Chains A and B, each alone.
Chain A
């Protein structure tokens, strides 16, 4: 998966992922016991959520006896990194909808020379004002 296809995730998907990150590889039944009661959801819902996360390549699975055991395919930090990069790429897109305003937008691809010139300009300005 590249950062461009960082997945869109629903609340339940995030809750299930967080559960697997916290408790490690688990079967659907165990995830349901931990996540289900507070949300009043059935085992089937948890199973289909796990299946969706597997299809999004965020979980991997292996068959143990008659059931699948799911494990995280990406770490929390890795997933956050992808989401951050997808969001920043969105800002850089001129067709961007303006949902976000970044401090330094990625679109500003000043090259090294340009950045050096800008730094020199700042230093000159400081010198002109008698600062450090």
Chain B
């Protein structure tokens, strides 16, 4: 039995979209209690879970689209899949690969899908333009900096503002300003370098960028809160790494306060509305460093992954029905 591509593509896109939205809503429902539970976990585990929560709707939605498109071509002649499809009313556990072509396709649904994809493309274009401008600025900064460290590991920028940052996706760099180098003592500098090296070795810049892009499908509120938690967890993970590196978490806490004070003096800030959003990082990071590190292992991430996949598995039936109803209800 063959399936023409147009209806199948529409069916796949509808299923993927509905899946992504359903998962976003589910995450929005469990986000607050889950964040409370996460607060007691180690930064390393929080990072893993938060990346998963931010990226899951888009990735699983995309997975459904690909699966719906590829399965008919792989099992197109399979009798048992066809049989499962004909017994539709009694079989919830199947992808129903033949129905899309039976139902045809809806012009209105295509229009809605094109609008949605167009909006996503516009958002992506806007983000890409901003990223490109920013990347050029960063490239200028790197070009005007000089290599330093044992293997040219970090770059020094001659600037009056204290700054230490890890940057870059493909080619990763750690940038330090001369103002920071001049005003920190050797041990504090070691803290800053260890912290930035930790970002470097975990490829945090790349993963955070990816999570930022893929999480656009989520509701704005939960997305902002989860992103904020992720940013904090990443910093705390690197703080722990720096603490292990210098052998004392208190020195890391003191360095954070010292650098924070330098920034207060030297860099007048703009856009306070944007800044208020993550106003308590210093306090949270210091408190986490002074507290004993969480040692108990937790099965929370395994539990969440199992729950997520169970949800996807159970969703095959109702996703199919929703897609069918949408295609049937909207005029073709």
- Residues of A in contact with B (beta carbons under 8 Å apart): 3-4, 6-11, 14, 18, 76-77, 79-81, 83-95, 97-110, 112, 114-115, 118-119, 121-122, 125-126, 129, 131
Instruction: Name the CB-closest residue of A to B258.
Output: A104
Among listed B24-32, B55-63, B163-171, B324-332, interface-contacting one: B163-171
Residues from chain B with a CB closer than 8 A to the CB of A126 are 250
Asked whether, in the complex, the Cβ of B138 is within 8 Å of the Cβ of A105, the reply is no
Among listed B8-16, B129-137, B295-303, interface-contacting one: B129-137
Asked whether, in the complex, the Cβ of B140 is within 8 Å of the Cβ of A108, the reply is no
Asked whether, in the complex, the Cβ of B281 is within 8 Å of the Cβ of A97, the reply is no
Residues from chain B with a CB closer than 8 A to the CB of A81 are 159-161
A interface SS class: helix
> Given A14-B144, A92-B269, A126-B250, does the pair A8, B136 have CB atoms closer than 8 Å?
yes
Residues from chain A with a CB closer than 8 A to the CB of B277 are 94, 107
Asked whether, in the complex, the Cβ of B208 is within 8 Å of the Cβ of A101, the reply is yes
B205: contacting residue among A14, A76, A100, A118, CB under 8 A: A100
> Given A98-B211, A103-B192, A104-B259, does the pair A6, B281 have CB atoms closer than 8 Å?
no
B281: contacting residue among A99, A101, A105, CB under 8 A: A105
Extra A-B contacts (9), CB below 8 Å, given A101-B196, A122-B253: A98-B205, A99-B138, A101-B167, A104-B260, A107-B281, A108-B260, A108-B281, A122-B290, A125-B290
Q: Is B46 an interface residue (CB 8 A)?
A: no
B interface SS class: helix
Asked whether, in the complex, the Cβ of B279 is within 8 Å of the Cβ of A91, the reply is no
Q: List 11 A-B contacts (CB under 8 A).
A: A3-B270, A4-B270, A7-B140, A9-B143, A80-B141, A88-B161, A88-B263, A101-B204, A118-B282, A118-B283, A122-B290
Interface size classification for chain B: 35 or more
**Minimum C-beta distance from B227 to chain A (A):** 7
Q: Is B18 an interface residue (CB 8 A)?
A: no
Asked whether, in the complex, the Cβ of A110 is within 8 Å of the Cβ of B280, the reply is yes
- Scan B265-288; emit 1 where CB is below 8 A from any A CB, else 0: 001011110111111111100110
What CA separation (Å) do A106 and B157 show in the bound complex?
A: 18
> Given A99-B131, A99-B169, does the pair A110, B282 have CB atoms closer than 8 Å?
yes
What CA separation (Å) do A4 and B158 show in the bound complex?
A: 19
Instruction: Name the CB-closest residue of A to B161.
Output: A84
What CA separation (Å) do A8 and B279 show in the bound complex?
A: 29
Residues from chain B with a CB closer than 8 A to the CB of A107 are 274-275, 277-279, 281
Residues from chain B with a CB closer than 8 A to the CB of A122 are 250, 253-254, 257, 286, 290
Instruction: Name the CB-closest residue of B to A14.
Output: B143
Residues from chain B with a CB closer than 8 A to the CB of A119 are 257
Residues from chain A with a CB closer than 8 A to the CB of B276 are 109
Instruction: Name the CB-closest residue of A to B204.
Output: A101
What CA separation (Å) do A10 and B133 show in the bound complex?
A: 11
- Residues of B in contact with A (beta carbons under 8 Å apart): 127, 130-131, 133-141, 143-144, 157-161, 163-169, 177, 192, 195-196, 199, 204-205, 208-209, 211-212, 224, 227-228, 231, 234-235, 238, 250, 253-254, 256-257, 259-261, 263-264, 267, 269-272, 274-283, 286-287, 290
Residues from chain B with a CB closer than 8 A to the CB of A104 are 164, 256, 259-260, 263, 281-282
Asked whether, in the complex, the Cβ of B159 is within 8 Å of the Cβ of A77, the reply is yes
> Given A88-B161, A97-B127, A100-B167, does the pair A106, B275 have CB atoms closer than 8 Å?
yes
Instruction: Name the CB-closest residue of A to B259.
Output: A104
- CB-based closest 4 A-B pairs: A98-B208, A8-B136, A108-B281, A103-B164
Asked whether, in the complex, the Cβ of A101 is within 8 Å of the Cβ of B165, the reply is yes
> Given A90-B134, A122-B290, does the pair A83, B140 have CB atoms closer than 8 Å?
yes
> Given A97-B212, A101-B208, does the pair A87, B138 have CB atoms closer than 8 Å?
yes
Asked whether, in the complex, the Cβ of B290 is within 8 Å of the Cβ of A121, the reply is yes
Asked whether, in the complex, the Cβ of B143 is within 8 Å of the Cβ of A11, the reply is yes
Asked whether, in the complex, the Cβ of A99 is within 8 Å of the Cβ of B167, the reply is yes
Instruction: Name the CB-closest residue of B to A9.
Output: B140
Most buried by B among A95, A104, A118, A129: A104
